[in-house]
Structure 1
Amino acid sequence: MSDKIEGNLLKDQVYERLAKMISNAELMPGDRLTEAQIAEKFGVSFTPVREALIKLNSDGIIHKIPHKGFYINKYNDKEINEIYQVFVNIQELAIQLIINKLTESDFLEQESIINDMEKACNSNDYKSYLFSNHKIHDYYIYKADNKFLTSIYKKISIMPMPIFYFVAEGDKCIENMQKNISEHRLIVKLIKEKDLDGIRKALINHYGVTYD
């Protein structure tokens, strides 16, 4: 698929494409972003690239170092824990909003996404694995159909968090992915049982959140 961007609202398209690349770990924390490289990759002029970078900067996804350029943010352990605390509460709220509305078809769809994660894991297809991992988290948010919750989630979900299964190597990488899959299966089971306390504990465990 071509990386070229065409049509109107180029700055928004560049923003969305860069945001997706960051959330999919195609661009990693600490990576430098140059206007020239991005403009060439997407086949656009410098102006929409510059506008997109300014918006990413204002959203706290990247930062600018004078005379050097833009860099994707790196977060320390405290900041990562704080971000994941927000993720836990957003996911928990979304599940609370939908827990009494879910049908058997919804659960089959969730199981299908998790099965896709497992297939990708077994074939060492990290990109497909990550796509399905995002998809299962997105499922609860978009199913809740709350525009304010969705807006908050979309902003936080593109933050350049460390992706453990890309950082890890070999057997450790597979082990981490398998653990993640098991946790998602447990969360679906607890949603079926409408066990809200269990769901919160499972989400806290899934994100590895600590509370001081």
Structure 2
Amino acid sequence: MTKGARTVGRPAAEAVYEHIRDAVVDGGLLPGDKLVQEQLAAELGVSRTPVREALTALSREGLVRAVHGSGYVVSELSDEDITEVSQVRERLETMALELACGRLTGLQRVRVEAAIEEMVEADPADAALQFDLNRRFHQAIIAPCPNQFLLSTIDQLWDHPVNRRITRSYIKGDDDVTTMIKEHRELLQASLDGDPDRLLALATEHIRAGYDHALATESRSK
């Protein structure tokens, strides 16, 4: 894990939380890695108090877990984690897609297409960038949805560290990115055609395939 947390201008616990969270999500910290408060405090240049607060928050989110007498360790992604997030995202996103179907403006279409083309040009091995482009596509294609509360809730789901960790886990290289690009283009075409039945069928298959891939990846790593 990279040393040093940026604490200037904001609470130290928030900076430490974000630093550890990003290390877990990005793979800098792996399942089973020990997180010792004294060591983290020294590495990040803070006292033990913000480290303790950050680890407590991360524990509530399921990214780390307390081990009696041994501090904290990075949690493994459980099948339950992946299944629960998949179910919620599928329901919310297909609802938004149905409401947005056939309603893309010219500018919104350009944004969707730009996200696809940037994914084509980006390094398929750059999981962080591919995650951002994947998120941008999915946010752009539901942009016409008139239910702002629904859109806000989906944004919160994308921001949730467990979902970020899951989504990053199934972007592994050329084949995965090529498949994703193909499916994104099919989703866009169905939306442009104003075909909600096809759009929802494609979206359901697309989302389930990604999380099934995550389940298979986690099973192999255990």
TM-score normalised by L of structure 1: 0.74
- Give structure 1 stretches of 5+ with no counterpart: 167-172
1:12-51 map, 5 Å: 12-36=14-38, 38-40=40-42, 42-51=44-53
- Pairing 1:154–2:156 present: no
Q: 2:105 aligns with which of 92, 103, 106?
A: 103
Distance 1:10 1:62 in 2: 19
**Moved beyond 6 Å, runs of 4+:** none
Change (3 A) 1:84 1:128: same
CA RMSD after TM alignment: 3.3
- Pairing 1:201–2:201 present: yes
The answer (yes or no) to whether the contact 2:141–2:188 under 8 Å persists in 1 is no
Q: Which residue of 2 aligns with 1:165?
A: 171
Query: Shift in Å at residue 77 of structure 1?
Result: 3.6
Query: Shift in Å at residue 179 of structure 1?
Result: 0.8
Query: Shift in Å at residue 135 of structure 1?
Result: 2.8
- Pairing 1:72–2:74 present: yes
1:51-130 map, 5 Å: 51-77=53-79, 79-99=81-101, 101-121=103-123, 124-130=125-131
- Give structure 2 stretches of 5+ with no counterpart: 213-222
Distance 1:197 1:96 in 2: 9
Q: Which residue of 2 aligns with 1:136?
A: 137
The answer (yes or no) to whether the contact 2:6–2:15 under 8 Å persists in 1 is no
SS in 1 for 2:123: helix
Q: Which residue of 2 aligns with 1:177?
A: 177
Change (3 A) 1:192 1:40: farther
* Number of residues of Structure 1 aligned to a counterpart in Structure 2: 203
The answer (yes or no) to whether the contact 1:5–1:13 under 8 Å persists in 2 is yes
Tell me the amino acid that sits aligned with residue 155 of structure 1: H
The answer (yes or no) to whether the contact 1:96–1:196 under 8 Å persists in 2 is yes
Tell me the amino acid that sits aligned with residue 129 of structure 1: Q
Change (3 A) 1:143 1:196: closer
Query: Shift in Å at residue 140 of structure 1?
Result: 5.5
The answer (yes or no) to whether the contact 1:57–1:64 under 8 Å persists in 2 is yes
Distance 2:19 2:99 in 1: 30
Change (3 A) 1:70 1:152: same
TM-score normalised by L of structure 2: 0.72
The answer (yes or no) to whether the contact 1:98–1:143 under 8 Å persists in 2 is yes
- Give deviations 1:122-158, integer Å, cap 9, x for gaps: 6x43432233223333445777532444445533654
Tell me the amino acid that sits aligned with residue 174 of structure 2: I
The answer (yes or no) to whether the contact 1:12–1:52 under 8 Å persists in 2 is yes
